[in-house]
Amino acid sequence: MTVLSDPSPAVAEPEDARGRVAELHGIRAQAQAGPSEKATAAQHAKGKLTARERIGLLLDEGSFQEVEQLRRHRATGFGLEEKKPYTDGVVTGWGTVEGRTVFVYAHDFRIFGGALGEAHAEKIHKIMDLALTAGAPLVSLNDGAGARIQEGVSALAGYGGIFRRNTRASGVIPQISVMLGPCAGGAAYSPALTDFVFMVRGTSQMFITGPDVVKTVTGEEISHDGLGGADVHAATSGVAHFAYDDEETCLAEVRYLLSMLPQNNQEAPPVARGGDPADRRSEKLVDLVPAEGSRPYDMAAVLEEIVDDGEYLEIHERWARNVLCVLARLDGEVVGIVANQPQNLAGVLDIDASEKAARFVRTCDAFNIPLVTLLDVPGFLPGVDQEHGGIIRHGAKLLYAYCDATVPRISVVLRKAYGGAYIVMDSQSIGADLTYAWPTNEIAVMGAEGAANVVFRRRIAEAEDPGAMRARMVEEYKSELMHPYYAAERGLVDEVIDPSGTREVLIRSLAMLRAKHADLPTRKHGNPPQ
């Protein structure tokens, strides 16, 4: 690894207090400037901003307060004693985003390639401890080459301290990882322990073992982006929640996400009243969802009609697209919405969708964000791959997440809600506070066709015209057990509502539930399915 020369100049001994102050300003200016103009130009040539430029985009202008700017490593050997730049390759401190405190650390790739050494790690530990103490979000701007090899095991121990603090802060303060460069080996576990991961296409990668190791061990040849680029993690692995084309857009979206999160788990998310009336009706909703259960539609269009100004932030937009997980506002209050997406795999639940929704539900519950669930689910995806892949335990993760959640929970059955998937998607039986249904709802053990084949198998087989008998039995099953008011008559649905008034019903219900208090049994912690 290339190491940088010591940027600090020889400073004349000051003779008075003003000289000391001038000396301080000179040293600080050099620390802020970084190692050299050449190093900065090299960073820009890669399409990447410097650590301080990134912090400037993330935080409100002029709000950044740096911590341990003059920190230097104390390592010796391999020429390190002659190369001791200020900051030691990481900029740490706090500032504000829309006036609210946010802590941040940013790797400076220009210094030791952003590699983590002992002093570097201690700076990160310090800012993580401060974030937890102050009860404010922590954002990491990652652009580092991993552990500083010259410092050996001390660097590895530094990572251990970061992981331990990530875990202690989990569910207490929001933690956001922004990947703006390489992140390989054990370093990748810190982002994986945080609540949200952002990546930038073309410049950021995450992997445990790089392409060279993969080729040596398996013989497979693959590029850095092909192995662990932004698109791979956003669409295939699910490691990244968001992926963007440039750093400016990425950091603007981090600010937007922070505007919808509370400072910590003891606070509610910030309220932002707008001009969208709480009692606004939407006649479009009546026509958006076809009554025929086999016809697809775009659930995103339904969300746009319900939430404030049609605006929402989708989490994991490109992964497990058969379920939508979004943060939005209803009458200015932040809500988390889980919704089946009939446009993809008919909205069924599979392994990835269950994982995605379960994680989102637990995140919302940790940070006091009420949950709204919109159901149109025909069941779990059948298949050998799903069963062998553990759909039972993965589906149980979503069930566990809902059952364990204590925030206000409201579900709305738009159309199909069949079998175990109906139960798992926050049915009244697992603790939803309120359950509504549209007149197009079909709540049942299974679809009418499948049910008729099971219940009336013998009558169909013995009939002179099995096809006609099957059709007759399907209609009979529908009329008896699948009519829109069957569940409401049995108290499993609180109300069948006019779709055009869904927004108003949700807002009124959430207002009533705002002071909800629910206690879980005393325990060290639960043991969710893995």
Contact call for residues 223 and 207 (beta carbons, < 8 A)? no
- For residue 495, which phi and psi values (nearest 5 degrees)? -160, 140
Burial degree of 18 (CB within 10 A; 0-12, 13-18, 19+): exposed
Q: Is 395 a catalytic residue?
A: no
Long-range contacts, stretch 41-48, CB < 8 angstroms, 24+ apart: 42/110, 43/109, 43/110, 46/203, 47/202, 47/203, 47/246, 48/109, 48/143, 48/180, 48/181, 48/203, 48/247
Instruction: Exactly one of 56, 152, 161, 186 is catalytic; name it.
Output: 186
Instruction: Exactly one of 185, 210, 293, 389 is catalytic; name it.
Output: 185
Of 38, 31, 32, residue with least CA distance to 2: 38
- Six-digit token string for 33: 């400037």
Contact call for residues 308 and 276 (beta carbons, < 8 A)? yes
Instruction: Exactly one of 234, 421, 451, 488 is catalytic; name it.
Output: 421
Torsion angle of C-alpha atoms 224, 225, 229, 234, degrees rounded to 10: -140
- Six-digit token string for 233: 């993690």
Q: Is 301 a catalytic residue?
A: no
Distances (CA, A) of 406 to 368, 387, 396, 430, 519: 9, 30, 18, 12, 8
Instruction: Exactly one of 56, 161, 293, 420 is catalytic; name it.
Output: 420
Helices (H), 384-442: 384-388, 391-404, 419-424
Can you point out the beta strands (E) in 201-237? 205-207
Contact call for residues 481 and 444 (beta carbons, < 8 A)? yes
Q: Distance between CA atoms of 530 and 520, rounded to whole angstroms?
A: 21
Q: Is 420 a catalytic residue?
A: yes
Distances (CA, A) of 185 to 182, 191, 216, 239, 416: 10, 12, 16, 15, 44
Q: Which helix (H) or strand (E) element contains residue 121? A: helix 118-134
Contact call for residues 73 and 120 (beta carbons, < 8 A)? yes
DSSP-assigned beta bridge partners for residue 106:
91, 141
Distances (CA, A) of 175 to 170, 183, 185, 270, 363: 8, 17, 20, 17, 11
Contact call for residues 407 and 516 (beta carbons, < 8 A)? yes
Q: Is 186 a catalytic residue?
A: yes
Provide the residue type at 83 as one letter: K
Q: What is the set of active-site residues?
A: 185-186, 420-421
